[in-house]
Amino acid sequence: MKKTWFFACLILIILTSCEKNSIVSDETLFIKDNGIGYRFSDFEIYDSSTHIFYFRNSHPEFLTEKVSKFSLMAYGNEIYSGIFRPPYSSSLPVGPYIDSYMSLYQDYAFRVNFMSVDNKPEDLRNHPVIIQAMKDHNLLHSGLALVINSVERIGTQLILKFTVTNNDINNLLIIDPEKTGPALFHYFTNGLYLRDLSNNEVFSEGISPQTPDPWDSWNINWLSQLKAGESKQFTINYTVKSILIPGEYRASFQFPGLEFQISEEQLYRPEGRIWLGNIEAAKKILIQ
C-alpha cells in the first residue's frame, strides 16, 4: 500500500512538472522555442505600462537557456511572438524582443521590448485579449502614466513640466527628481529631447549626470510614495547651449525607475511597491 501511494505521488509530481514543458493549455502564458512554458500561476504581476513580467519566484534559468524565440499566449492561443536578443547582437530586432543574459532586471522579472520601422509591425504587447487574460488571473497592474505638460523657453532656459500618474492598484515608490537633484536624476534618464518637423534632433544637451557611489547602489531617500490614483507634477530646467529657431518641435522625455538595483526581497515595502522600468511621453510644442 505504501509503495502504491509513493508511485501515485511520483506520477502526480511528474505530470505537474510536465505542464511547464511542451503542453500548451488555457493556463499557458509564456512559452519558449525549446518547449519550456510558464503558466499564469507562475507570475505575480504584469505591469502594462512597462511590459514587465514579475515571477512569483526567482527563475535564474529564464535568460540563460539557449533559446531564440518566445510566444505570448492567452486562452491557449498565441497573441504575439518575439525573439531573445543576446548581448553580442550588433543590431536591434524589429518587433517584440527580450534582452537575454545581460538583462537590466534581476531573475524575478523580465521586460518585453518592442522596435518598429514605419509603425510596422503593430505593437501587440497590450493586446485587448492579453489585458483581459491578465485581469482574469488577477495579474494586471497598470503602473505609471506620463504626460508632458509644457516646454517653455525663457532666456537661456528650457523649462519642462511633466506629470506622473499612478494608475496602479498599489501605492508605488518612484524616483523623485526633487529628492535626487537634477544631476543624479539624469543618471537614470537622458532627459529632454527636441526634434524639428523633419525629425532632426535639435536639443539633447541635457544635464551632466551624477553617478551614484557606488555606481550600482540606490537609496530609499531618492524615492517618493505615489498613492494609487495620485498624480504629481515636476519641473526641470535645462540650459540651452545651442540656437533654437522659433517654431514647432516634437518634445520627448523618459521618466525612469530603478532596474537591476532592486532585489526580489526589496521590491515590496510598507509604503508600496518600488516601480521598475521607464516610460516615455512625447508632445508637439511651440518654441517662441
Domains and CATH numbers, the chain: 20-136 (no CATH), 143-287 (2.60.40.2360)
C-alpha span between 159 and 153 (Å, rounded): 6
Tell me the per-residue pLDDT of 130-155, one tens digit each, with 9 for 90 and over. 999 999 999 999 999 999 999 999 98
CB 47 within 8 A of CB 277: yes
**pLDDT, tens digit, for every residue of 231-263?**
999 999 999 888 888 899 999 999 999 999 999
pLDDT tens, 76-123? 999 999 999 887 777 778 999 998 877 899 999 999 999 998 888 999
- Cell 512569483 found at: 56
* Mean pLDDT, rounded, for 71-76: 96
List, edge to edge, every strand of the sheet that includes 140-141: 109-111, 52-55, 43-47, 140-141
Secondary structure element (H or E) that encloses residue 203, with its range: strand 201-203
Q: Are 169 and 153 in contact (CB under 8 A)?
A: no
Distance CA 91, CA 68 (A): 15
pLDDT band for position 163 (cuts 50, 70, 90) = very high
pLDDT band for position 73 (cuts 50, 70, 90) = very high
Distance CA 203, CA 217 (A): 30
pLDDT (0 to 100) of residue 11: 36
> Residue 4: its pLDDT value, please?
42
For the chain, the distance separating the N- and C-terminal CA atoms, rounded to the nearest angstrom, is 87
For residue 52, give the C-alpha cell. Answer: 514587465
Angstrom CA distances, 36 to 16, 29, 62, 203, 266, stand at 13, 11, 10, 46, 28
Residue 100 near residue 84 (C-beta atoms within 8 A): yes
Question: Where do runs of H (alpha helix) occur along the chain?
Answer: 2-18, 128-136, 177-180, 182-185
pLDDT at 14: 35
pLDDT tier for residue 6 given thresholds of 50, 70 and 90 = very low
